[in-house]
Homo-oligomer: A and B are copies of this chain.
Amino acid sequence: MKALIDRILKDGKCYPGGILKVDKFINHQMDPNLMKDIAVEFIRRFASTKVNKILTIEASGIAPAIMMGFLMNLPVVFAKKKKPNTLDNMLATKVTSFTKQRDYDVVISRDYLCPDDHVIFIDDFLAYGNAAKGIIDLCKQSGATLEGMGFIIEKAFQDGGQYLREQGVRVESLAIIESLENCEIKIKNA
């Protein structure tokens, strides 16, 4: 997605350890028009998919997911990190965070992820795929069908994308980072 790639090259920042910071336009300050364009691109890429719900995970997945749900007129559910004390009837799974170097629980209510659901999962980053693995587990527990996973940015030099594709998951990433070596952003086909 050219507008996104251009924006990453313009406003993204590299940090040692393979960290790409996009908090000027995606995950701290957000550009709502870019989020709308991202949602349109996900809709285009998943055009052949029958879906009745958009699934995401707090916090940075919410903006692109709500835009997608709005444009498609579909409900959006966000999985929560850690157990809120007012959520009953929930499914839970354990996830390890790459950036935060800790484990956390990801939970979702059975009321909003059901055997009849056909969902697309949307998130900002695909790195080692730990959150994605947690979502796959929650979908399995609930009986919902995971139709695909859409990521704004995939880091191809970490193994989440390979793992998900090997599992037969349909993965669509709008910008694929090949390398962040020497703090230089190299994007596939860019």
Contact = CB atoms under 8 A, between A and B. Distances in A.
A28 B91 CA distance: 13
Interface in A35-89: 35-36, 58-59, 62-63, 66-67, 69-70, 73-78, 80, 84-87
Contact of A78 (B30, B35, B76, B78): B30
A29 interface: yes
A31 interface: yes
A111 interface: yes
A112 B28 CA distance: 8
A28 B109 contact: yes
A70 B33 contact: yes
Contacts of A78: 28, 30, 59
A99 interface: yes
A78 B31 CA distance: 12
A170 interface: no
25 contacts: A23-B109, A23-B112, A24-B112, A28-B77, A28-B78, A28-B87, A28-B108, A28-B112, A29-B111, A30-B66, A30-B77, A31-B75, A32-B67, A32-B75, A36-B70, A59-B62, A59-B78, A59-B80, A62-B62, A62-B66, A63-B66, A67-B70, A84-B100, A85-B101, A86-B99
Q: 7 tightest CB-CB pairs across the interface, nearest first?
A: A58-B59, A32-B70, A32-B69, A29-B112, A62-B62, A63-B66, A59-B59
